[in-house]
Amino acid sequence: MSMTDPISDFLARMRNAIIGRKVMVTVPASNLKVKLAEIMKAEGYIRRYDLKPDSRQGVLEVELKYDRENKCAIEGMQRISRPGQRRYAKADEVPKVRNGLGIAVVTTSQGLMTDREARKRTLGGEIICAIW
C-alpha cells in the first residue's frame, strides 16, 4: 500500500514515540526525511540519526533527545503544507514559529532549510512543517 504523505507519517511516528517516552524511532527512509532529520539535529531537537540499508528503501533511525526530567526537546510538531493543500511563502512572508523559539522547515530552490536561513538568504518556498 502506498503512503500519500510520508512527511506526516514521519512526524506522527515521532510524536507517538515522544508520547510513549521512546528513545528510538524507525521510519522508512527517503532523501527528504534524511534532510529533515539533519536539520532537526543541527537545531538540537534530536541526538542523532542513522540511515540503515535494508532490502527495500532503507530505514532511518532517529534518537530523540530528553533532558534530566525526561522531557523531550521537541514540544510539538505540525505539518503545514499537505498534498491536498500546499502552503507557499515569499521570502519576506516566511513565518516565525513561536516568535523564533521554534523552526519552520522550508523547501526552497536551494534545498531544505530553516525559516531563519531562508529569510537570511531571501528565499521563499513551500512551508513543510513547524517544530518547537
Does the structure show a pLDDT above 80 at 3? no
- The phi, psi pair for 70, rounded to 5°, reads 65, 35
- Could you give the 3-state DSSP secondary structure of residue 72? strand
Q: Does the structure show a pLDDT above 80 at 60?
A: yes
Q: Name the pLDDT band for 12 (thresholds 50, 70, 90).
A: very high
- DSSP letters for 34-67: HHHHHHHHHTTSEEEEEEE--SSS-EEEEEE-B-
44: left (phi over 0), alpha (psi -120 to 50) or beta: left
The answer to whether residue 1 scores a pLDDT higher than 90 is no
pLDDT (mean) for 53-66: 95
Which domains, from first to last, does the chain contain?
A: 6-64 (3.30.1370.30), 77-131 (3.30.1490.10)
| pLDDT tens string 70-127 | 999 999 999 999 999 999 999 999 999 999 999 999 999 999 999 999 999 999 999 9
pTM, to two decimals: 0.93
Burial of 20 (0-12, 13-18, 19+ CB in 10 A): exposed
Cα(58)–Cα(98) distance, rounded to whole angstroms?
34
